[in-house]
Amino acid sequence: MSEVLLSAGVVEYEDTGGDGPVLVLLHGVAMNGSLWRHVVAGLRADFRCVVPTLPLGGHRRPMLPDADLTVQGVARLVAEFLDALDLRDVTLVMNDWGGALSLVADGRDRRIGRLVITSCEAFENFPPGLPGRSLCVAAKLPFAWWAALTLLRLRPLRRLPFTWGWMSRRPVPHAVMDAWFRPLWTSAEIRRDLRAYVLGVPPDDVLLGWAEALRTFDRPALVVWAAEDRVMPPAHGRRLAELLPQGELVEIVDSYTLIPEDRPERLCEAVRGFVPHGR
């Protein structure tokens, strides 16, 4: 892992290097960049894959105590990350976490050449679905917050609808999930960071304004949505594709939200067909 110092603290990232088109791949809450391991393996021969671990609970380095870790604050860290690495004409790929959509409304999308939006938060679906609402309720009560995170140590509970059961059709390997959750189990500062994020969701009118601003994104955009998603409504994927002036829609069957886990080969195929590359 490489690391870069941003205004909020140190952010770790993986960079495959190379001269191919740059893909920056963003994960969701209580995960890290390993969400993309299969996709990176399938694309790294032709693309430079850059995968930051965002301060969303799966990060190992706590952020500064006064860091802005609201949804928009984390999105601005993404823009700062692109600046710090001087990445240009980036294809920004997001899954589960939709906060980076706010970069268009915020006027911080100048380094983004293309968007690939795969089953993620959009419109007023922040935090998303039953798992997101459960996390939000727990974050408001200190004991419930600790209990909710500790329960994830019990592997059978990970497949319940209000935890991770509706996030992927196929169980994520326990070793991978253990690595995602371990920072939350072992660090009060990491728990603080995630709680700040969960409690930093703006009102619905702001969220809907972010979506509306996508009408101004004048570059290619691909919306890839899980047709059977139970957390991110498939109708949201269709709405996003209609909002984006150059939006295209691909629906993927046999997958829930975590398409990089359920159907990585199909997602790789969609990205290859959308982003020009040497082969």
| 65-88: average pLDDT | 98
Any idea which residue has 């798992």 for tokens? Answer: 131
At residue 108 the predicted structure's pLDDT band, cuts being 50, 70 and 90, is very high
Q: What pLDDT shows up at residue 241?
A: 98
Q: What pLDDT shows up at residue 142?
A: 80
CA atoms lying within 13 Å on the CB side of residue 252 = 28
pLDDT of residue 278 exceeding 80, the answer is: no
Cross-strand pairs, 102: none
Lowest mean pLDDT among 51-65, 72-86, 128-142, 194-208: 128-142
Domains and CATH numbers, the chain: 2-274 (3.40.50.1820)
Computed over every residue of the chain, the mean pLDDT equals 96
Residue-by-residue DSSP string for 112-136: EEEEEEEEE--TT-SS-HHHHHHHH
pLDDT of residue 268 exceeding 80, the answer is: yes
pTM for this one? 0.96
Residue 17 has phi, psi (to 5 degrees) of: 75, -170
pLDDT of residue 77 exceeding 70, the answer is: yes
Name the residue type at position 45.
A
At residue 184 the predicted structure's pLDDT band, cuts being 50, 70 and 90, is very high
Q: Given 3-state DSSP classes, what are the helix, strand and coil percentages for the chain, each rounded to the nearest 5?
A: 45, 20, 40
pLDDT greater at residue 136 or residue 260: 260
DSSP 8-state code for residue 81: H
Name the residue type at position 271.
V
pLDDT of residue 279 exceeding 70, the answer is: no
Residue 191 CA, distance from chain mean position: 18
Name the residue type at position 18.
G
pLDDT of residue 141 exceeding 90, the answer is: no
DSSP 8-state code for residue 46: T
Q: What pLDDT shows up at residue 233?
A: 97
